[in-house]
Chain A
Amino acid sequence: MEKNTEKTSAAKAPKKSVNGRFYKTVWRWHLYAGIIFAPLLVLLAITGSIYLFKAEIEEVLYKDYYQVSPQDERAAVTEQLDEVKRLYPDAVATKYRPGESETRSSEVTISSNGESLTVFMDPYTGKSIGELNNDDRIMDKIEEIHGELMAGTLGDRIVELAACWAIVLMVTGFFLWFPKKKTGIAGTLIPRLRKGKKILRRDLHVVPAFWVTGGLLFLVLTGLPWSGLWGANFQAITTNTGEGYPPSVWIGDAPTSNIQTQDIAEVPWAAETLDVPLSAIQGQIPLSLDKVVEVAEQEGIYPSYSIFIPQEPEGVYTLSVFPPKAQDEATIHIDQYSGAVLADYRYENYGVIGKIVAWGITLHKGSQFGLANQLISLFICLSVVFVAISGIYLWWKRKPQNGIGAPAAPALFNTKAFLFLMIGLGILFPLVGLSILAVWLIDWLLIQRIPSVKKWLNA
């Protein structure tokens, strides 16, 4: 063990035995969490780095789908939709995106045989330019890795767990970094380059880690509201207080169209041979998409918005836009039959927490402040990769041949301060709590009972 602690001031255990035990416990947890989650954090940082430039990358990749040459007259939206129906007779149109500029194509999203396709339309000729299967979009794949490791709900929980444990790593890492003596800035704020390999290895992990902590904490905290478990609960709690996002912007149902079923006109199906009762045909018919676009223009909405087409008789048209800047966001629900605006939520209508989360998300995506935002986020991501790798390297070099090299474990929770710290983090981040419980169970049921494992893990 002596060999591994190295003779650096930060790694030398303080003399008081209680503090020493506490220090070793923190170190042990930092080491295990680091070994387990470093690969995931590297993966998240790399996919995140790419995703920061989604707009620019897609602009190049899909140039031929995006650009149209403007003409005097635009084709009616209904015309474009009819053309899509003609080309894909079995498909259901779910979304229409008018396009944010004169030279931008419009998009009709359809679902066909369980697949989601985007059909790019020339809004002037009303003809199709091409289609993309949304499963084939490379940036969507990157997002899927970043958000759920392409493994659905399980993947989402693992990413959330890694994000939460990143916080644990930062808290424990900060404690380990914190200078025990007044040694100046060398080895804390700047790395010591000429004090030998061991010290350099240590400083190349500890010093950059300290510097990146603020940025990574920001990315983790702004990313968590997205997550499936912590995020969903967080959004529900804040929305319930009146200070979060209004319902339906993030979670919660949209309002419904205000109509009695018997007042809706029935469509006689082509297959039906029987006469349709005339009274059933007599009734209200849904608004055309052209009218919805008109409403959108009257209400004034950021031009890159999409219209979600209702699929149920009581559904609503939803205009939705999450543009680069949080202040431009809007979610508007329109009665499918009367065209009445049932809800109109703008950034100004968010609660205080909702506004903060909205800013957090656009900053996390790197869109709020354009290029500067993207470059700063990219720098944080690359630093995270560096710190994760230098941490693993540090452990690998220090590790003895016949063990994992963790400081000897006192009973898992016999320091009260640490127990309370972990319970606190476990309450704030239930997944951390659950994983601590899992570790405790594994320790109690397996590690402590199998001598060779116990020895290797120094448990």
Chain B
Amino acid sequence: MRKSGMLALLLLCMLILGACSLNSDAASLYKQESPLQVKMNVPEDLSVNEEVVFEVSLSQNGAPVDSADFVHFEVQKQDGSIRFPMEEAENTENGVYQMQFEFESEGLYYFEVHAGNKGSVVSPQQQFIVGKLSDSELESLKQGSKPEQGSSGHHH
């Protein structure tokens, strides 16, 4: 009785100590969000005075978002000298939104998308280059610099 009892206790303790780990799908048992997913397509090797089309694909819960609440594009140069203020992007098919741009000067730029749909709001920002980088821009990149403040962050 005594020894078998102790053995049973030992086994149970081991079982309990080793048994519990978190299920990978535990999050599905609690409140879940439907975050907007944005894929930003900026053509590579941009040059000055060339018409280019910037595209973003929006999806939510795995399906393309055809009629988002809002999709606005905003572009500015790193030093703040050139600004394309926030503007509504053209809605094409399959959750793809686009806008045409033309850049007059070479350098480092930032492209920001402001999009919202069904309660999820996103504002991803993409860094891109037109032509070549100036030395000062390269230097500021090395310092880990971010775009000049003052872009219109608030949006609803």
Contacts of B133 in A (CB 8 A): 278, 281
Q: Please give me the residue from chain A that is nearest to B35 by CB atom.
A: A340
Chain B CB within 8 A of A126 CB: no
A342 B125 Cβ-Cβ under 8 A = no
A290 B129 Cβ-Cβ under 8 A = no
Given the interface pairs A236-B22, A345-B31, A427-B12, the reply to whether A285 lies near B17 with Cβ below 8 Å is no
Chain B CB within 8 A of A133 CB: no
Chain A CB within 8 A of B23 CB: yes
1/0 per position for B95-135, CB-CB distance to A under 8 A?
A: 00000000000000010000000001111111111000100
Q: Please give me the residue from chain B that is nearest to A411 by CB atom.
A: B2
A247 B126 Cβ-Cβ under 8 A = no
A340 B128 Cβ-Cβ under 8 A = no
Which of A246, A412, A414 is the most central at the interface, judged by chain B CB atoms within 10 Å of its CB? Answer: A246
Which of B13, B30, B110, B122 is the most central at the interface, judged by chain A CB atoms within 10 Å of its CB? Answer: B30
A298 to B153, CA, bound (A): 12
Contacts of B143 in A (CB 8 A): 270
Chain B CB within 8 A of A392 CB: no
B16 A427 Cβ-Cβ under 8 A = yes
Given the interface pairs A430-B13, A436-B9, A437-B6, the reply to whether A294 lies near B153 with Cβ below 8 Å is yes
Give the contacting residue for B22; candidates A240, A255, A258, A416; CB below 8 A.
A240
Tell me how far the C-beta of B54 lies from the nearest C-beta in chain A, rounded to whole angstroms: 12
A242 B35 Cβ-Cβ under 8 A = no
A258 to B2, CA, bound (A): 57
Which of B38-46, B68-76, B81-89 lies at the interface with chain A?
A: B38-46
Chain B CB within 8 A of A335 CB: yes
1/0 per position for A240-273, CB-CB distance to B under 8 A?
A: 1110001110011001001000010101111000
Chain B interface, DSSP helix/strand/loop, else mixed: mixed
A145 to B13, CA, bound (A): 27
Tell me how far the C-beta of A227 lies from the nearest C-beta in chain B, rounded to whole angstroms: 13
Number of interchain pairs (Cβ within 8 Å): 167
A269 to B138, CA, bound (A): 10
Tell me how far the C-beta of B141 lies from the nearest C-beta in chain A, rounded to whole angstroms: 6
Contacts of A240 in B (CB 8 A): 20, 22-23, 26, 29
Chain A CB within 8 A of B65 CB: no
A288 to B36, CA, bound (A): 19
Contacts of A55 in B (CB 8 A): none
B5 A269 Cβ-Cβ under 8 A = no
Which of A340, A343, A414, A430 is the most central at the interface, judged by chain B CB atoms within 10 Å of its CB? Answer: A340
1/0 per position for A112-140, CB-CB distance to B under 8 A?
A: 00000000000000000000000000000
Which residues of A from 132 to 153 have beta carbons under 8 Å from B? none
A76 to B10, CA, bound (A): 58
Q: Please give me the residue from chain B that is nearest to A279 by CB atom.
A: B44
Contacts of A285 in B (CB 8 A): 110, 125-127, 146
A258 to B36, CA, bound (A): 10
Interface residues of B (CB under 8 A from A): 1-2, 5-6, 8-10, 12-13, 16-17, 19-23, 26-27, 29-33, 35-40, 42, 44-45, 110, 120-129, 133, 138, 141-144, 146, 149, 153-154
**Can you sample 20 A-B contacts with CB below 8 Å?**
A233-B17, A240-B20, A246-B26, A263-B40, A267-B142, A270-B142, A270-B143, A279-B44, A282-B44, A282-B127, A285-B110, A294-B153, A338-B36, A343-B33, A344-B31, A349-B31, A351-B30, A412-B2, A437-B10, A437-B13
CB-CB nearest 4 A-B residue pairs: A242-B29, A340-B35, A246-B30, A338-B122
